[in-house]
């Protein structure tokens, strides 16, 4: 069975050992990443939720027609490694971008190709960029700009979900033996390997919703939106009509125990004609 430990293990095997038998460092380029990274595996039951957040990010919704990265898309660790089944033999590595236009850098690491910087984003803003530089080596991963952009959005969606603990719980990934083996490959005894699942222990409701009385609310995502508020001091912006609006971050309502309600966002100008 493939899981994040299996895939990450292939990545580290491809990049070479972290140390020799005598303890002498062999690979220094990725030593800090291996030692400090925290790993997050997303179970297949979370695919719809990740896709829902990703769609919301790409929906045109600010005054300039750009998607806004959720404020919750923050790094839970200096080096955060993400994996879900569709990624197969690849993992996404997210870390602070020290010398670039965005706050968080997203890279693709593979078990058969050199790592590739996809681009980056800044949480809570529309600032996102895609790395369009051609491969510097024949052994470097080749991905189209669209694929790179999609992976960046999915990384932001995954981080958003990680940072909503009212919805999810973290479990140890893999077996004790596989975690111990990965500790040897990474040269770290403090790394954590998490499997993320829905937390169904208690319902999560928003104001105005209720449970019981014959009905329950399925999990659904309320997209971010502008609300007119002349007194707003946080996330405030004067739009083209001269009025002050406050940006309300998107949020989850309901509970996955009762299903997931998907939304379709289809903005249009004017009325649809026959």
Residue-wise pLDDT for 211-222, tens only, equals 443 346 777 766
Laid out side by side, the sheet with 251-253 consists of 251-253, 218-222, 255-261
- Note whether residue 234 is domain-resident: no
Q: Based on C-alpha coordinates, what's the Rg of the chain? A: 21
- Note whether residue 156 is domain-resident: yes
Alpha helix segments (H runs only) across 59-175:
145-162
Q: Which residue has the tokens 């009762």?
A: 258
Q: Which long-range contacts (CB under 8 A, 24 or more apart) does 180-183 make?
A: 181/5, 181/9, 182/5, 182/8, 182/9
- Note whether residue 203 is domain-resident: no
CA nearest neighbour of 171 among 1, 81, 43: 43
- Note whether residue 227 is domain-resident: no
- Note whether residue 232 is domain-resident: no
- Note whether residue 273 is domain-resident: no
- Note whether residue 10 is domain-resident: yes
d(CA 55, CA 70): 12
* Cut 0.85: pTM above it: no
Per-residue pLDDT of the chain (274 residues; tens, 9 = 90+): 678 888 888 888 888 766 544 555 455 678 788 878 888 988 888 888 888 888 888 775 554 455 678 888 999 888 999 998 888 889 999 998 877 667 999 999 998 888 899 999 998 887 888 988 876 666 666 788 888 999 999 999 999 988 887 777 777 777 777 777 777 777 666 667 778 877 766 655 555 555 443 346 777 766 666 788 887 777 777 777 788 888 777 677 776 666 666 554 444 444 444 3
Number of domains in the chain: 1
In sequence order, what DSSP letters do the residues of 172-205 get, joined into one string? E-S-HHHHHHHHHHHT-SS--EEEEEE--SS---
Instruction: Find the Cα–Cα–Cα–Cα dihedral 89, 156, 68, 268, rounded to 10°.
Output: 50
pLDDT digits (tens, 9 = 90+) for 229-273: 887 777 777 777 788 888 777 677 776 666 666 554 444 444 444
- Note whether residue 212 is domain-resident: no
N-term to C-term CA, the chain: 51
| Cβ-Cβ contacts under 8 Å for 12 (sequence gap 6 or more) | 18, 34, 185, 186
Q: Which residue has the tokens 């004067």?
A: 238
pLDDT digits (tens, 9 = 90+) for 90-114: 999 999 887 766 799 999 999 888 8
d(CA 181, CA 122): 35
111: domain range?
4-198
């Amino acid at each position: 069975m493939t899981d994040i430990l299996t895939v990450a293990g292939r990545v580290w095997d491809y990049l070479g050992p972290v140390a020799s038998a005598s303890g002498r460092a062999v690979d220094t380029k990725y030593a800090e990443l291996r030692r400090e990274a925290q790993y997050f595996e997303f179970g297949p039951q979370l695919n719809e939720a990740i896709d829902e957040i990703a769609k919301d990010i790409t929906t045109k919704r600010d005054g300039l027609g750009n998607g806004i990265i959720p404020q919750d898309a923050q790094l839970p660790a200096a080096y955060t490694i993400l994996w879900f089944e569709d990624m197969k033999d690849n993992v996404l590595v997210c870390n602070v971008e020290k010398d670039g236009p965005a706050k968080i850098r997203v890279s693709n690491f593979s078990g058969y190709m050199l790592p590739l910087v996809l681009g980056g984003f800044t949480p809570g803003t529309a600032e996102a960029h895609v790395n369009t530089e051609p491969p510097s080596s024949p052994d470097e991963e080749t991905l189209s700009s669209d694929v790179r952009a999609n992976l960046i959005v999915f990384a932001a969606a995954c981080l958003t979900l990680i940072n909503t603990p009212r919805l999810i719980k973290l479990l140890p990934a893999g077996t004790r033996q596989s975690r111990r083996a990965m500790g040897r490959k990474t040269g770290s005894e403090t790394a954590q390997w998490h499997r993320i699942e829905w937390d169904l222990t208690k319902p999560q409701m928003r104001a105005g919703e209720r449970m019981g009385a014959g009905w329950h609310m399925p999990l659904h995502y309320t997209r971010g939106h502008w609300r007119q508020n002349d007194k707003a001091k946080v996330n405030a912006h004067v739009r083209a009509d001269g009025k002050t609006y406050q940006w309300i971050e998107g949020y989850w309502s309901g509970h996955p125990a009762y299903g997931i309600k998907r939304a379709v966002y289809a903005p249009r100008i004017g009325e649809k004609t026959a």
